[in-house]
Amino acid sequence: MLEFGSRGSRNVFFGVAPQKGLCVTAAGTVVHGKLEGGKRVVKGMRSFEEIPHTGRNGWLNLLKFWRENRFQQLHKHMERTFNTLGPIYREKLGTLSSVNIMLPSDVSELFKSEGLHPRRMTLQPWATHREIRNHSKGIFLKNGEEWRADRLQLNKEVMMSAAVKRFLPLLDEVAKDFCRMLQTRMEKEGRGEEGKCVLTIDPSPDLFRFALEASCHVLYGERIGLFSSSPSLESQKFIWAVERMLTTTPPLLYLPPRLLLRMGAPLWTQHATAWDHIFSHAEARIQRGYQRLSTSLGRASPTGTAGGHYTGVLGQLMEKGQLSLDLIKANITELMAGGVDTTAVPLQFALFELGRNPEVQESVRQQVRASWAQAGGDPQKALQGAPLLKGTIKEVLRLYPVGITVQRYPVRDIVLQNYHIPAGTLVQACIYPMGRSEKVFEDPLHFDPSRWSREEGQRAEAAGFRSLAFGFGARQCVGRRIAENEMQLLLMHILLSFHLSVPSSEDLNTTVTLILQPETPPRITFSKL
């Protein structure tokens, strides 16, 4: 899915258009078009100013957001606004202006114009923290050629199939240990009749520990012991810091961070303190990893192992020496900070949906059992033989996307819904409203992992833009392969060991920090099979 300008003719993707010809609009209508003064003119095209909007005064809009607590319900606000204004609208909040879209055909048009160095919205609070603390920036905060050079190096260790094959056994080991821990807890705390043991819990604390344990195992090549009876206070503080960082980010997106810094605003202080905890934790892990690796690199093999042991992403990057130590630290820290909530929270939603859809759960379990039996203990083969497992993750992320938008700044003028969008405009593909729209999905509120297997045969251009939880193309989530396999493997082992049900099948209320999550974590009942 990594595509660096190879998706079609270069004149379409990088803005080199003939002086006269045909222009295909987002709606798929072919109309005569030409270039006048460097701008594409389409017959009947409407101006940027004519795009429906939520109010022209960004500061009044921001004040309304604060008063009505809309930051926490931004996904619902977007959904309501699309229902009111149609499939495209403009919004200005404080210093931030954007065009919001939700139809796959428009998203397809947007990504055609992303260029060789795709750019998404910079999280300025994060960037400001790096600048005032003199930390290097990882690829999440970079753009242009510098971003591309670093990204290509990271792709080799976290995205390519050879890398996945190396770290998959590590994720599988942690997933198995999670189920063993759950089994032990069930024997101690569970209740049962006729020898059947049942445990009803809020699994979210355990899922957060699982996500941190799994990501650290891949990043550093070693376990950190979060499944012990007394997990380290250090790791618990890290999880707290990530949650605090995510919670304080959204309000800071619409205000100048350096002004808040000069004012000593509590919101900025909380945000910066959370990042300081994250960097401190990551620095300690990286230093331990570096010391360990420095004694074993002499025994390193060409396949990225030292003394026959996989050294993790950190070890791989250090061995190859293509990135400076500061850049390695920056990117490992970002991967660590971005790899906890973003997998633990979707797993909460997955357990809930499987629990309240027993027929779906049984279908996935039967496929998993058959695939596991044939795989001979090979986790990669087991996952390949269970497409419903992958469909389950895609379906969870359709209904509950981690990030509710994917953003791009088009490198050329484009036309969306017959409106002119100038190059350099922030355009947001709003994937929460898309995932729940009847215009995009049949029976959108029905949880149906099999829909993705049925849709694989579709050839329509826009069909590939209905699942965007990890982004798209060269700038998609760099931790995608880790996250996808981590979630699938845990669900696989849970379904092999336990039956899931829920005390309440009522829809979950959701809220947005920087990511979408349940207002109250769902309780799940685990029954031993």
Output the known binding site: 477
Alpha carbons 280 and 230: distance in angstroms, whole number: 21
Is the backbone of residue 443 left (phi > 0), alpha (psi -120 to 50) or beta? left
Alpha carbons 214 and 212: distance in angstroms, whole number: 5
The β-bridge partners of 98 are 91
Q: Beta-carbon neighbour count of residue 29 at 10 Å?
A: 11
User: What CA dihedral angle connects 275, 207, 167 and 336, to 10 degrees?
Assistant: 0
Q: Beta-carbon neighbour count of residue 522 at 10 Å?
A: 21
CA distances from 9 to 5, 13, 15, 19, 108 (A): 9, 7, 10, 16, 15
Is the backbone of residue 271 left (phi > 0), alpha (psi -120 to 50) or beta? alpha
Per-residue 3-state assignment (H helix, E strand, C coil) for 401-448: CCCCEEEECCCCCEEECCEEECCCCCEEEEHHHHHCCCCCCCCCCCCC
What does the block give as tokens for 389? Answer: 């497992």
Known binding-site positions for heme = 477
- Within its chain, how far is the Cα of 492 from the centroid? 20
What does the block give as tokens for 66? Answer: 């604060």
CA distances from 430 to 91, 133, 224, 442 (A): 13, 33, 37, 18
Q: Work out whether strand 510-512 and strand 516-518 pair parallel, antiparallel, or are unpaired.
A: antiparallel
What does the block give as tokens for 22? Answer: 């045909």
User: Could you tell me which of 483, 343, 442 has the C-alpha nearest to residue 402?
Assistant: 343
* End-to-end C-alpha distance for the chain, whole angstroms: 38
Task: Report DSSP state, residue 510.
Answer: E
Helix (H, G, I), strand (E, B) or coil at 172: helix
What does the block give as tokens for 503? Answer: 């005390």
Are 402 and 513 a contacting pair, CB within 8 Å?
A: no
Are 249 and 513 a contacting pair, CB within 8 Å?
A: yes
Are 287 and 220 a contacting pair, CB within 8 Å?
A: no
Q: Work out whether strand 30-36 and strand 405-408 pair parallel, antiparallel, or are unpaired.
A: unpaired
